[in-house]
Amino acid sequence: AGGGTGHLRVATNPPPPYPLTARMKRPCLYAEFGVPEYWIGDPDSPALTLLTLRSGVYVSVEPENGLLRSTVVPGLVIDPAALFADLDE
């Protein structure tokens, strides 16, 4: 594998006591290195957030018909409701 930053990063929000400041620094670091897409999964909410880099700042992408579509990985479509459906079982 090369030494680039990649086109996509996926992260989960760890449970407390993980420092909030660390969670806030992560997207800033990714933006600084030009990672064009950043997904954040939070199983406690449950929520999946898709962010795309626009002019150096991450902007949230709204789901289309309940689905999140990657802007950098062709064909990558995720249904957040289905992703977290089995968490309560």
With H, G, I as helix, E, B as strand and everything else as coil, classify residue 86. coil
What pLDDT sits at residue 14?
60
| 19-54 confidence digits (pLDDT tens) | 666 667 788 888 888 989 988 888 778 889 999 999
With H, G, I as helix, E, B as strand and everything else as coil, classify residue 81. helix
Q: For the chain, what is the mean pLDDT?
A: 81
- Has residue 9 got a pLDDT over 70? no
For a pLDDT cut of 90, what percent of the chain falls above it?
37
Tokens of 22: 């660390």
- Has residue 67 got a pLDDT over 80? yes
